[in-house]
Amino acid sequence: MIKVENINKTFGLNHVLKNISFEIHESEIVAIQGRSGAGKTTLLKIVGLIDKPDTGNIIFDNVILDNLNESKKSEFRNQKVGFVFQFHNLLPEFNCLENICLPYLIGNYNFSKAKLRAEKVMYDLNIDNLKNKMPNEVSGGEQQRVAIARSLINSPKLVLADEPTGNLDSKNSVEMFNLFKMISQKYNTTFMIITHDNDLASKCDRTIKIHDGYIIN
């Protein structure tokens, strides 16, 4: 499904990623680990077309993503990829349902359809009771579930998660991974998860470790 080929990335004199290559298959849950500054977030941004490599290719379902024009890249980010971050990035002026609708509205502008899709995802994630609540009215674990629902509204094939359990206690972290597992099995969604949590990484299908810009396993 995803093939990363010989990715290199530098920032000034800092060679952050060095000849990174790997493959991830449909519905796999893969952890990305390494110390701070190892290049994990940069790699995630490159896979999600938020950043560009200096050299190398990202191939998604046999399509070389760098060959896409900017319009197609934007469409790819919106339709094929979901993003989940450590800090939920929910907009405080919108309720939970409206926050989940936002990625769908970017490409479709139809709130009625967006609302139906959001309600279905919220039901699947067992957070339909939060529809009308504002982000500051729900717990941190619930906010992260809302953020995950938002990442799923366009039925992406790939979810990129950067420290999704970083602000959660151990109980909520386990529940979060169980959600990822359910989503992966139900929708054949693939997950790339950056995490410092070794317990979470051990539950993933496999782990890719990055050290000083290189994959070491």
Span 99-114, pLDDT tens digits:
999 988 887 678 899 9
Average pLDDT over residues 84-94: 83
> What is the b/e burial string over 166-193, where b = at least 16 CB atoms within 10 angstroms of the residue's CB?
eebeeebbebbbebbeebbeeeebbbbb
* Closest to 19 (Cα-Cα) out of 50, 52, 45, 54: 54
139 torsion bin: left (phi>0), alpha (psi -120 to 50), beta (else): beta
Q: Which of 141-145, 167-171, 191-195, 213-217 has the highest mean pLDDT?
A: 191-195
* pLDDT tens, position by position, 130-183: 999 999 999 888 898 899 899 999 889 999 999 888 777 888 888 888 889 999
pLDDT at 128: 92
pLDDT at 170: 83
CB-based burial label for 79 (10 Å; 0-12, 13-18, 19+): middle
